[in-house]
Structure 1
């Protein structure tokens, strides 16, 4: 395998091979490096994992392949699991494994069902079958008995945090111990939790598991959780914060974490994009993940391009591009991988619709595949400047392969040539209205790669 260290800046220029194909220029400079990529992923929280678990073979494996296989699926490398807090499995709740011991200083009472709303099985499949190594446990709330409102839903916060005094006492340490026990249960089942979050959308109160926490309160709890992990020989586990509903709201939380002096204790700043999209980088020197996004409006769609509709694959390919370039994110996660037809009026918050013993795949999954299958964990984003109407990202993978992802925002196809790579082989895959990350012609002659990107389409080139 060739080394990229000595490669000169890569020039990518377009050449006309058809009457409707414009001539554009892209420049890639592998010496200009940005963030390291941790991966792309999904969640199957709130019992969504059971959608797959209940499928019969061969369709169960087919859906798992669509999510994790690097040859015929999305090749996801991160699983985000919800840490249960609810009193039962009613509706689609995630059940807690703790009972109220009566006081925060009493011995905890833990009962683990070995299922975790189907998430443990799902994680085991991802690890054993597909080699996934990044597992993110994230709590939507602490168990209700630890909170000011005595309920894991409808807001409230952990007793003992600033401004949260309870007659039952201070439950901060008990909550930290609860999160550590979650990690232990998963480890006993063969899954190593790598990232740990203690709150989700702390700026939003909902009728299901939710907890209101401001940045100052989050920092206070981090000062408890950080040494608790260390005491349990878990300092390698990355603490995340704070999963705010929007990018701009998370920026406020990030500033508060910094002001409280805990930024160095937080390995990854996490944010969602529901109330505000990615418009810049987070104010931190730590890694940043976009950990939840989806389209919550409109009916189920399998379209790639539908005049820029928010649920189509083309839109989300562009959103991922923005996250990687404008947001400098190291990971970009979708909300849920699968969901049934009945939930939330069969909208577009899922990538795969599981309908009884059948399933349908959205083009949003293939938008992710274009990145996740070609840009693997540990890859480094490098400088890429696209021509008019093109959005380009480029990454140097750990194995030395150079991935160049090109979105054509115009209606007409663009022919391109990639020169100066010193590569000996090239592969390319296309996604558009009629292709789902399928191999597309690309050739290399004396170091020059030639290929084409269809109108409103996306092609990923991997140079060996």
Structure 2
């Protein structure tokens, strides 16, 4: 993503905000915000999405994430109050995105090879030797507190925050059950369960569920016998065929669970590709089909339409049977994906908003999971929140530093997970009322509360009318929550419902969730970050005399900039000062400003105080050849005069752009020259 192109895209958004769009541009105390609509002031030919209250579809089970491979430990090791803040950001609905489901890893105990080092296993196994359960050992009381400590701690913290659904997936049976005597793809022989160990493995999973309830007071609600049965690699894995999974569930796992009154339901599939291929033999077997409670898959393959939509034909069997469908793991995977700055911005956030909405709308998805909600991973792509550390996790046991990076996909995921509760029902919509717009809707049958999620993939704003068919008659207004290039799930002004219709203007490149006032949640903390744009008109405070004006071409800009004036952007999270997540790019950060030169000058980037705060960057704005050519935007602006200027940002941990700071753009020229210096459209960061 080049700096010029990305700012130009934001420019389109700002133009649509400023004039003739049905949005009120409110400027007070230097801050600008956009209301959702002016009902009745727009033409009636706008696209319409009928949202049908009585067209009930699938029940939503929730939104979740995994904490496998010790990643819960990277949260536990944080000092307070950061530890609680991260947990709340994941599970709390008031100041986070309200995840409902936790996915953990059934421990395998290790004994595999990873490179030149012995792979000691990502979690402890309940049965390190045949027939030897850890809680039957004489020293269990001494070992108990240390057993699977990270995941158990995380599940208990999630329970404190209202989570009551836990899924346990097995990456591999213990090594002593495998043909290759390894939990990984190493060793001698095939990476698979031995034929004579099917019953042993069924008993193992039963003991896991029963033992976690007895010894840790944790109820495992769903058990998955095989994570990615179509993959064998250098970490815990085990190969299965679809027919073998059917045999195992039909002849061993389900009968064992029935015989031993194991309360967990069986989740089957979890193959790499988003389809029910690995579950079809079980679904087509009359002796197995009723034992499969959830059909699950990952989404690393099988998506179409720029990898944002499922193929409905791959889910015909499950849909025809009315089976519950979960997508249980997905992320940005591997270089160069993890190294692309754009994959942390609204571009990436929109992609996952489309993936979630399309799966719900096209294949009746019931639950959606991210991979690691928060972790100290070696790159940015695998998490919603990245916990910064002092080295690569692959190089040993890095120490978390306390800083964290929150990506746009965290917020767009939250546009669903924060407002749609387990037990809500998806309801019918005209899902694609206009090009590049996706609409899904949900209701709580018991309370009458609802959520409408609208994704606008277009660069420009889109006027949309929602025809709320059959909605409660006393509905007067809704509350929008929006994620865009510059906003992070921020609450907007209420929008009136008039005669059962809701007229809105969807901001370009945004995800907006509309809920009734009785379902209103607090605004999230107004945190900004290096992955957001900073429109000049959306500042948090500005000097007397500065003005927000129409640029004459459909946009808004900051004008009347003179020496010594400034604008403020509050609560910016610079994290560890990096734009990209790889160690070789640590501390590398650039800023770009889109300006229209007149007399020219300097933009100082200061932290915490506009006069005495440390200067972490300076952007030099040249003087225009004719300083008067574009000095009167209200008389006709000349957009060809917009240019982009850039600077490196000092990210020193002691006095640079590191951690949280208020950021000031201070405008400097000659102290005695009280002349207009330039006009400002927006600033943004990049790697």
Matched, 1:245 2:272: yes
Give, in angstroms, the shift of residue 302 of structure 1: 7.5
Partner residue of 2:261?
Answer: 233
Partner residue of 1:192?
Answer: 219
Distance in 1 of aligned mates of 2:71 and 2:236? 15
Q: Deviations over 1:278-297 (max 9, x none)?
A: 21152222111000000013
Partner residue of 1:8?
Answer: none
Instruction: Verify the 8 A CA contact 1:95 1:117 in the aligned structure 2.
Output: no
Matched, 1:452 2:512: no
Partner residue of 1:150?
Answer: 181
Matched, 1:403 2:451: yes
- In structure 2, the CA distance between the partners of 1:304 and 1:347, relative to structure 1 (3 Å rule), is closer
Q: Deviations over 1:73-95 (max 9, x none)?
A: 11100111010113379577223
Of structures 1 and 2, the one with the larger relative CO (CA 8 A, separation 6+) is 1
Instruction: Verify the 8 A CA contact 1:46 1:117 in the aligned structure 2.
Output: no
Give, in angstroms, the shift of residue 256 of structure 1: 1.6
TM-score by length of 2: 0.59
Distance in 1 of aligned mates of 2:234 and 2:260? 34
3-state DSSP of counterpart to 2:300? coil
Distance in 2 of aligned mates of 1:393 and 1:198? 32
Instruction: Verify the 8 A CA contact 1:391 1:407 in the aligned structure 2.
Output: yes
Give, in angstroms, the shift of residue 133 of structure 1: 1.2
Matched, 1:69 2:69: no
Matched, 1:50 2:79: no
- Paired residues for 1:374-389 under 5 Å: 374-385=419-430, 386-389=432-435
Instruction: Verify the 8 A CA contact 1:120 1:186 in the aligned structure 2.
Output: no
Which entry has the higher C-alpha Rg, 1 or 2? 2
- In structure 2, the CA distance between the partners of 1:26 and 1:140, relative to structure 1 (3 Å rule), is same
- In structure 2, the CA distance between the partners of 1:197 and 1:417, relative to structure 1 (3 Å rule), is same
Partner residue of 2:357?
Answer: 321
Matched, 1:96 2:125: yes
> Structure 2: any 5+ residue segments left out of the alignment?
1-36, 112-117, 136-142, 304-309, 389-399, 519-687
Partner residue of 2:634?
Answer: none
3-state DSSP of counterpart to 1:98? coil
Give, in angstroms, the shift of residue 190 of structure 1: 2.3
3-state DSSP of counterpart to 1:40? strand
Distance in 2 of aligned mates of 1:22 and 1:210? 55
Match of 1:179 among 201, 205, 213: 205
Instruction: Verify the 8 A CA contact 1:442 1:451 in the aligned structure 2.
Output: no
- In structure 2, the CA distance between the partners of 1:307 and 1:99, relative to structure 1 (3 Å rule), is closer
Match of 1:292 among 329, 337, 341: 329
> Structure 1: any 5+ residue segments left out of the alignment?
1-12, 102-106, 161-169
Q: Which runs of 4+ in 1 moved over 6 A?
A: 13-16
Instruction: Verify the 8 A CA contact 1:86 1:209 in the aligned structure 2.
Output: no
Matched, 1:108 2:132: yes
Partner residue of 1:393?
Answer: 440
Instruction: Verify the 8 A CA contact 2:64 2:100 in the aligned structure 1.
Output: yes
- In structure 2, the CA distance between the partners of 1:445 and 1:172, relative to structure 1 (3 Å rule), is closer
Instruction: Verify the 8 A CA contact 1:47 1:94 in the aligned structure 2.
Output: yes
Partner residue of 1:429?
Answer: 481
Give, in angstroms, the shift of residue 121 of structure 1: 0.5
TM-score by length of 1: 0.86
Match of 2:236 among 209, 229, 249: 209
Matched, 1:269 2:292: no
- In structure 2, the CA distance between the partners of 1:444 and 1:304, relative to structure 1 (3 Å rule), is farther
Instruction: Verify the 8 A CA contact 2:346 2:485 in the aligned structure 1.
Output: no
Q: Report how many aligned residue pairs link the two structures.
A: 427
